[in-house]
Chains A and B, each alone.
Chain A
Amino acid sequence: MARRSEAEVTSYRTLGALALAVGWLFAGAAAAEEAEKIPVKVLVTHVSNEGTGVEPGGKGLHDNFRKHQIPFNSVRVIKKERVVMELDEVHRIPLPNGRKARIRPISRRENSVLMAVDVEGSVKVDARMRSQKPFIIRAGKHDGGNLVISLELDD
């Protein structure tokens, strides 16, 4: 069996190194693209003292209210979604009272996102949101209780 020349071996090595470098570059580019995505958990609820209890999806919200001695005994989940946004993209959240909320990520830091939130007829707020820390906004009265929107980064 003929032995491969030294030049041939060097060429294979160079090609191998190039392939590795290209793979690394593509992996890096894919990771960069992924990092630009901003996943947000959106929860729209109706909270009241109707005595109907707390639905499983609203337990976290109820716990947060209870922690602040805000006295609600009923939480009904109206809408729960996970949206993957990009910087500067606007996402609309239709509310059961006919109004809507809009959110837009403005900028991103390591573990937080500056988000503009506009709840029609209620409040406009820019807030720096973090994962594991829901941002809860009352969006007005509705159906004998309150509409509450909870936003949370889902990194």
Chain B
Amino acid sequence: MSATATEIETLPAVHYLNVNYGWRSWLFTTDHKRIAWLYLVAVTFFFCVGGLAATLMRLNLIEPQGALVEPSTYNRLFTLHGLVMIFFFLAPSIPAVLGNFLIPLMIGARDLAFPRLNLLSWYIFMLGGAVFLYSTLSGGVDTGWTFYTPLSTTYANSSVMSAAMGVFISGFSSILTGLNFIVTIHKMRAPGLTWFRLPLFLWSMYATSIIFILAMPVIAITMVLLMLERFLHVGIFDPALGGDPILFQHLFWFFGHPEVYVLVLPAMGVVSELVATFSRKRIFGYSFVAFSSVGIAALSFLVWGHHMFVSGQSIYTGLIFSAFSFMVAIPSAVKVFNWTATLYKGSISFDAPMLYALGFIGLFTMGGLTGLFLASIAIDIHVHDTYFIVAHFHFIMVGGAVMGYLGGIHYWWPKMTGRMYPQNWARLSALLIFVGFNLTFGPQFILGYYGMPRRYAVYPPEFQVLNVMSSAGASILAIGYFIPLIYLIWSARYGPIAGPNPWGAKGLEWTTASPPPSENFEVIPIVTEEAYAYGAKS
């Protein structure tokens, strides 16, 4: 902890958390910092729902014939898990919680460009979530999160309509958030804060916002078409009605693949901040890292066909999408190399956020390298739709996005609450998550290599050993996720006072009080140096 922490032993007298009280002051707030808390509570709830579904799935898979539930229930569980985690946890996690809290603080502004629109986004998100939860309580959905047609439109006898409606509604929340972020980053930067002085977290938020605005309307359109066919039997996707089932997959993945980068780009931004702070160094090759975010965002719209290598698309279509998929690996690799090079000759400390960041780099590297197997179209033919895919995207989304999210929460928690959590408990949970994660998803790569298909409620007995290993790993992972829930809540009330800049970090958010005042800064700062100017006198 830096010297400033010892000078200030009390919280500021008035800050955004105690400026007023009562449920109205929260549910009608337009303060971006309080809206971030509204999102934090909501996504934590949805994470628990999705996690519970995953727990039941892993328990069921201990026995080849299913230890717990019928296949029809199992199918509902993995659909619930996928939909909740993608649309109601991962997509809003870093952008809507950390992005909301930090963008104005990082650019030296008093709020986002459209504070009331920001609150509206949260209400739209909650409405979508409520409609989706209704679909779960009214019997659940058993189509998989991908809603493939004509299964979803003609054959499934479950609550497809309300689930699709929930996804449709929640998308507008992301569109409005993306719009708000783009305008804010363009128009509200403090004097002197040029584009190339922006922290890399903001570059990744900017790239994410662009994807929100371009991809979310596509899933909205797709859900409308799906509902039209299911409810009114308009022939769009079902060949029996004159439709084309592959058309659905094109539409869905044109949204779906950029969506994957919506989940991981923000985490890359967080990791750039963490690596810089905990090595006390500027990010190696700042402009390469910044432009690789934009490059990934652009290429993400050109790779959707790699989800359809075995769907019967033409040979040449397959080859083109394979080539684009290899191209997206390059900017991802550039990021990993630059983060690693940032450590070189740094001053590295091992506080909990840094452990999450290093864990992210390792797991993202594994996820990225296995992505090369899937881009290699001949290899993909065997491992497509097997546990290899399941393992690969969990390395990116859990090993990547969730590690980044938790690292970010631990890094900015003292800023959000003004108090510090117990470091050793946090280090322990980071370690448990890393170990538990590898034990859960490592065996799934081998299962997929042997050809075990995904979404199987029952499976041939020779796959049991690896499935039991995976379930055992998941129990360690669950403990790792549970511990922070306890010490973070505890620390918000009883933790030691953190002070404005407990990590000795650069960045405008660390120049104001912790927790910040409602208006963020008493005086709008003037920026005279680049991001991560650790060598400069402060």
Verify that A and B bind, or say they do not.
Answer: no
Contact residues of B with A, CB < 8 Å?
A: none
Question: Which residues of A come within 8 Å of B, CB atoms?
Answer: none
